[in-house]
Amino acid sequence: QVQLVQSGAEVKKPGASVKVSCKASGYTFTSYGISWVRQAPGQGLEWMGWISAYNGNTNYAQKLQGRVTMTTDTSTSTAYMELRSLRSDDTAVYYCARGRDYPDYWGQGTLVTVSS
């Protein structure tokens, strides 16, 4: 069965970076891309971007350009999302999901808290 398992919760100080991992299983990793979506407390869903697991092509939300980097490691079927220069409004649950257009399987979410 398809599973996406994310790394654990993180607490970071403003200005720091965070790197969240997403390990995929149950399907051919390079056949699908991985999307990243975040959700601030009590708020809606925000698309962050997408990476092709086939060739590493990326597509980032304009508001995060320059602060976010998405990568994959095909040898371990793992996707990564790094966000730099963290601010308090980056506090959110971060989700990885399979596919770009309409992601069908989602990770369990990783809470990233940015606080001094």
Partner 1 sequence: DIQMTQSPSTLSASVGDRVTITCRASQSISSWLAWYQQKPGKAPKLLIYKASSLESGVPSRFSGSGSGTEFTLTISSLQPDDFATYYCQQYNSYFVTFGPGTKVDIK
Q: Rule CB under 8 A: which residues touch partner 1? A: 35, 37, 44-47, 50, 59, 61-62, 95, 97, 100-104, 106-109
Residues 6 or more apart whose Cβ sits within 8 Å of residue 77:
23, 24, 25, 29
**Minimum distance from CB of 58 to partner 1 (Å)?**
12
Neighbours of 104 (CB within 10 A): 10
Indicate the residue among 16 and 104 with the shorter CB distance to partner 1. 104
Indicate the residue among 55 and 74 with the shorter CB distance to partner 1. 55
**Minimum distance from CB of 64 to partner 1 (Å)?**
11
Q: Report CA 102 to chain centroid distance, whole Å.
A: 15
**Minimum distance from CB of 13 to partner 1 (Å)?**
26
Indicate the residue among 51 and 97 with the shorter CB distance to partner 1. 97
Which structure tokens are listed for 88?
């308090």
Q: How far apart are CA 68 and CA 51, in angstroms?
A: 12
Indicate the residue among 9 and 16 with the shorter CB distance to partner 1. 9
**Minimum distance from CB of 72 to partner 1 (Å)?**
18
Q: How far apart are CA 53 and CA 34, in angstroms?
A: 7
